[in-house]
Structure 1
């Protein structure tokens, strides 16, 4: 029990780690490679939504996946680099690679440089618009690492960084913004609310630590109970936004079967978010890991599977 009567998660180290001591494994753990499951499916959702109006080639999908993976690697590695001093004094994060010395600062910086270059190259291989936007996207996802120093709403900054995935996937195929113009904005908003909410849940673990060390977050500012309430509100907004996307996108009105599949996807997101919030209680955070990783991984992968199935059943495929 903590001083506030909260049961923390078991163990002092982050979950979802790969086993082994090779450099490849250490780098994978350094950037929490399994967490790719959160946003990568949405980059492919963007590709699938765009495929209704433009053809998709295997090369395009490959470059999209490389662009997403390299950008996420750069962002996560940069976050670990910036936070290494803070991580070293937090019992939950003290065994991360830089504080523990299993990776060097030089190795971290080199990996960030390489992955950033790969992101720009992959963006350029897609189309001129993606290339032009790649520095903006990179600066945004790297900038997240500093946000806890000045704003309690860093969770939404992170959410917008993840929202680049479906927007980028769509632009990679079409090379142009969506019609209607607000469709991509609503899709991005859905991802912002979803990921911002689950990041608040993840940050519950460090509410006391952040408050003590002058780091800003919704839990450290408003407390655990109000942070959970705010996360719930964001997740309700996310479900509404996903519903608007399904109702507005041409894929959602193609046939009754396709329409039903997409609405089932929205219903699935709602049900899994309800279950996620049942796992987290203000006085018991022992299941935060399951709520954060398992449920949100199922949400992103499940939504991709449903959209992919609906796209396969679309009669007028280009």
Structure 2
């Protein structure tokens, strides 16, 4: 029972539920890269899926834990984060350090089991993911760097399947970067004043809440524009455009027609939208392949 409690505690520590933001993008990219698993045996599919999901979970565990570790002193001074595990002593720095090392080793091992390129990229990816923790100390562009770090997931899934870089998943990476960057700006409105007091850089601290929300909207509109280019260039068909219409409606609603200005309500709504947009993108990719799309015909 103690071991189970510890696992649950670490799940809360790394905010495991937030895996829903990037996981659908990665799974959709995996599905396209594998051409809908055409010609693959059940055992090959199971191995591929388990290794990719394993990479996603362990990479996120590493980066989130590292962020909590280096931000422990900052979190202690912020009322919103003062009850986090390292601040309260629920978890020790030594324990978290061991957890980071354990997940890093697992991530690299899973990557090498996929293919040589995935393995060679594993350590640089860990460094890139962990570097996010320092960006807010010197630049308000930190939100888009976080988006870039999370956005590497569809590119990583593609490399895991095909062992090569390609423009298709790189487009997905930038779509996710713009979406997550905008979402993180909205999330950061909670800490506008405390960030200013502590000399931390964020869009809300630099520009104020109202302008920050407009910048977040701009990031999301840029994401939609990139989705248009993506759909046209790769001739994604009606499945993609149907999904695109739903994404556009969701973004217009949450930015322009929400009735509550309460920060808690706003962040809850954007959390749900975040999951929804990710799932919609995945569905668009899945349906495209099911309706006859062929990854080998991509230019």
Aligned CA distance change for structure 1 residues 162 and 316 (closer, same or farther; 3 Å): closer
Q: Which residue of 2 aligns with 1:307?
A: 285
Match of 1:81 in 2: 69
Describe the SS at the equivalent of 1:125.
helix
Shift of 1:282: 10
Matches within 5 A, 1:116-131: 116-131=104-119
1:183–1:248 contact (8 Å) kept in structure 2:
no
Deviating more after overlay: 195-204 vs 284-293: 284-293
Name the structure 2 match of 1:30: 13
Q: Deviation of residue 298 (structure 1)? A: 1.1
How many angstroms apart in 2 are the aligned matches of 1:214 and 1:317?
A: 47
Task: Specify every segment of 5 or more residues in structure 1 that has no aligned partner in the other structure, as ranges.
Answer: 1-20, 253-258
Q: Which residue is equivalent to 2:134?
A: 146
- Give secondary structure in 1 for the equivalent of 2:263: coil
Residue of structure 2 equivalent to 1:219: 204
Give the C-alpha shift of residue 315 in structure 1: 7.0
Bigger drift between 271-280 and 30-39 goes to: 271-280
Which residue, out of 271, 293, 299, partners 2:271?
A: 293
Deviation at 1:171, TM superposition (A): 1.2
How far off is 1:98 after superposition?
1.0
Q: Count matched residues.
A: 288
Question: 1:59 — aligned with what?
Answer: 47
1:232–1:317 distance in 2 versus 1, CA, 3 Å: closer
Alignment correspondent of 1:173: 161
Mapped partners of 1:264, 1:300: distance in 2? 15
Aligned to 1:72: 60
Distance in 2 (CA, whole Å) between partners of 1:317 and 1:219 is: 41
- Measured on the aligned residues, the alpha-carbon RMSD in Å equals 2.1
Shift in Å at residue 197 of structure 1? 0.4
The aligned runs of 1:218-237 (5 Å cut-off) are: 218-237=203-222
Counterparts in 2 of 1:88 and 1:281: CA distance versus 1, 3 Å: farther
Instruction: Give the alignment partner of residue 111 of structure 1, picking from 95, 99, 105.
Output: 99
> Using the alignment, how far apart are the partners of 1:317 and 1:119 within structure 2?
27
Q: Does 1:44 align with 2:27?
A: yes
Q: Deviations over 1:59-118 (max 9, x none)?
A: 112111111110001000111111111111111111111112211111111111111111
More helix by share: 2
Give the TM-score, by structure 1 length.
Answer: 0.85
Spell out structure 1 runs of 4+ moving beyond 6 A: 279-282, 315-318
Runs (5+) with no aligned partner, structure 2: none
